[in-house]
Amino acid sequence: MTDYFTPTVIQQTIPDADMTPLEVLLLSHIFEAERDGDGWYFFSEQGPADILYIARSELEVALAASEHAGESSANGFVSEYLPGPQVVGPMPSYLDLDLSTTSWEFIIQDIVKRSATLAYVTAVSSFTCSRMRPDGFGGAVVLISADAIMGKSTNEILEDFIEEVTPESG
């Protein structure tokens, strides 16, 4: 069996002052996180997580502390998962949050929109696998600004190069 990996680094340290408590909580579960001065360095050795398993109480506290940010991707996403007051019976102590309905890029874009210091944030990923398979290697770059999320894979960059050197047929 072949295992596929997507090691990823967020290249800028994201300042504490630019993030809500909920964004820090979510991003530290999507990625591995290390303190870097007055901010956080996010990375993942195997790939960003798609499913987050987080204590409901942590989510509730972080959401309440983040409501000052107004409407945000993180607040809306978590609000959909938290059981409302109409739920009868025992409440789950942990929740599985499925990121297939959103993306960590939108969380970071909200941070950039509010930031006084970040014009953009970049993510660089490599695609690797445990066997030498032709579909298991490459990479991608993503640039996240307040207005756009742009990305290209190494295959797309290679196609651009090939287009530049291939004579037009016609």
pLDDT in tens, 109-131: 999 999 999 999 999 999 998 88
pLDDT of residue 88: 59
In this structure, the answer to whether residues 167 and 101 fall within a common structural domain is no
Residue with tokens 């942590």: 58
Residue 58 resides in a domain: yes
In this structure, the answer to whether residues 97 and 131 fall within a common structural domain is no
The identity of residue 133, as a single letter, is: R
In this structure, the answer to whether residues 127 and 165 fall within a common structural domain is yes
Residue 126 resides in a domain: yes
Q: Using CA atoms, how far apart are residues 104 and 47, in angstroms rounded to an integer?
A: 12
In this structure, the answer to whether residues 26 and 105 fall within a common structural domain is yes
Q: How many domains does the chain have?
A: 2
Residue 138 resides in a domain: yes
Domain that holds residue 81: 19-113
In this structure, the answer to whether residues 124 and 145 fall within a common structural domain is yes
Residue 38 resides in a domain: yes
In this structure, the answer to whether residues 53 and 92 fall within a common structural domain is yes
Q: What Cα–Cα distance (Å) separates residue 32 from each residue in 26, 47, 68, 89?
A: 11, 10, 26, 34
Q: Using CA atoms, how far apart are residues 31 and 20, in angstroms rounded to an integer?
A: 16
Residue 7 resides in a domain: no
62-70 mean pLDDT: 90
Q: Using CA atoms, how far apart are residues 152 and 126, in angstroms rounded to an integer?
A: 12
Burial of 62 (0-12, 13-18, 19+ CB in 10 A): buried
pLDDT of residue 70: 77
In this structure, the answer to whether residues 26 and 109 fall within a common structural domain is yes
Q: Using CA atoms, how far apart are residues 49 and 96, in angstroms rounded to an integer?
A: 12
In this structure, the answer to whether residues 98 and 167 fall within a common structural domain is no
Using a pLDDT cut of 90, give the percent of the chain over it: 75
On the question of pLDDT at 87 being above 60, the answer is no
In this structure, the answer to whether residues 33 and 102 fall within a common structural domain is yes
In this structure, the answer to whether residues 67 and 105 fall within a common structural domain is yes
Residue 11 resides in a domain: no
In this structure, the answer to whether residues 106 and 24 fall within a common structural domain is yes
In this structure, the answer to whether residues 53 and 125 fall within a common structural domain is no
pLDDT bin (cut points 50, 70, 90) of residue 101 is confident
36-49 mean pLDDT: 96
**pLDDT per position as a tens digit, 135-167:** 778 999 999 999 999 999 999 999 999 999 998
Residue with tokens 């002052």: 17
